[in-house]
Amino acid sequence: TDVLALFRITPQPGVDPIEASAAVAGESSTATWTVVWTDLLTACDLYRAKAYKVDPVPNTTDQYFAYISYDIDLFEEGSIANLTASIIGNVFGFKALKALRLEDMRIPVAYLKTFQGPATGIIVERERMDKFGRPFLGATVKPKLGLSGKNYGRVVYEGLKGGLDFLKDDENINSQPFMRWKERYLYAMEGVNRAIAASGEVKGHYLNVTAATMENMYERAEFGKQLGSIIIMIDLVIGYTAIQTMAIWARKNDMILHLHRAGNSTYSRQKEHGMNFRVICKWMRMAGVDHIHAGTVVGKLEGDPLMIRGFYNTLLLTHLDVNLPQGIFFEQDWASLRKV
């Protein structure tokens, strides 16, 4: 029932990798920078995380894989924010380490079941869209910034009438002076409805509800629902608590929730420090998003084929087996949480 985490550690010269791994385990659970007498007031041996295995990283001279286990009672039920506060809280600033990267996690079923998971999932979405036997076809409105509301809606209509199932807002189109959010929603949904009438098929447009406050996001999501939209969109940069909150709203209001992974490369692209995107995939499946950008091996963004296959499998399979070429270090039973 322990939560397992795999860190890639690069100790400073002269620092023993086993000691560095133990320090990471301690700092992400009960320990601090010195010994305190208050340790005697609780069962620290029970609650302290344990580095149970340290292996050298193949083809490197100074990097190690540190396997760390955490007692399930260290985490608040159903809270990505609390989980991340422990796992990635202070440890990335350790002086004893040159670099630290969270590569993978295993979430036990007992903890996994405290999260709602995706509300819709792939099968229900296909039923709602009446599309079977082929991939969904979507695109992003371009230019993503600068269009007026009327021209934005025109692009939505032309794209959907031309054969797309979905069009979407991009990550940074929110409510700028050249086009306020309500204007965009009205014209975009007019384009959706006209395309539905012209084609006889169910169509959609991802309305980006990302905003400065939760109150603003609720207002935008509710307005999109009133206009008849079946899907809303948020950006990863709004934070884990806001993502979970919008996932709960989407479930209650029978809306599909799309997550744009805006900002992920600030901590996932570096190979020695930060966090692998597969960990975010796991957290977002737990949080309850229905869609997520998981990358591709073509186009303008970086993408290793095996690594991206691992992302897809993390999001789509009901049971994950260890697959080192794809970067999957732990077996994972998804305990009936729907696919993303």
Model confidence over 8-35: pLDDT tens digits? 999 999 999 999 898 888 877 666 555 6
Identity at 155, one-letter amino acid code: V
pLDDT band at residue 319 using 50, 70 and 90 as cut-offs = very high
Residue 125: is it exposed, middle or buried by C-beta count within 10 angstroms (0-12/13-18/19+)? Answer: buried
Q: Enumerate domains of the chain plus CATH numbers.
A: 3-113 (3.30.70.150), 122-333 (3.20.20.110)
pTM summary value: 0.91
Q: Which residues, in sequence order, are CB contacts of 18 under 8 Å at separation 6+?
A: 51, 54
Cα gap 175→48, rounded to integer Å: 46
pLDDT > 70 in the chain, percent: 93
Tell me whether the omega of the peptide bond preceding residue 11 falls within 30 degrees of 0, making it cis. no
The CA-to-CA distance between both ends of the chain, in Å, stands at 24
The helix/strand/coil state of 70 is: strand
pLDDT band at residue 52 using 50, 70 and 90 as cut-offs = very high
Give the pLDDT score at 132: 92
Catalytic residues: 142, 260
DSSP notation for 293-329:
----SSSSS---HHHHHHHHHHHH-SEEPPBGGGTB-
**What average pLDDT does this structure show over 93-114?**
92
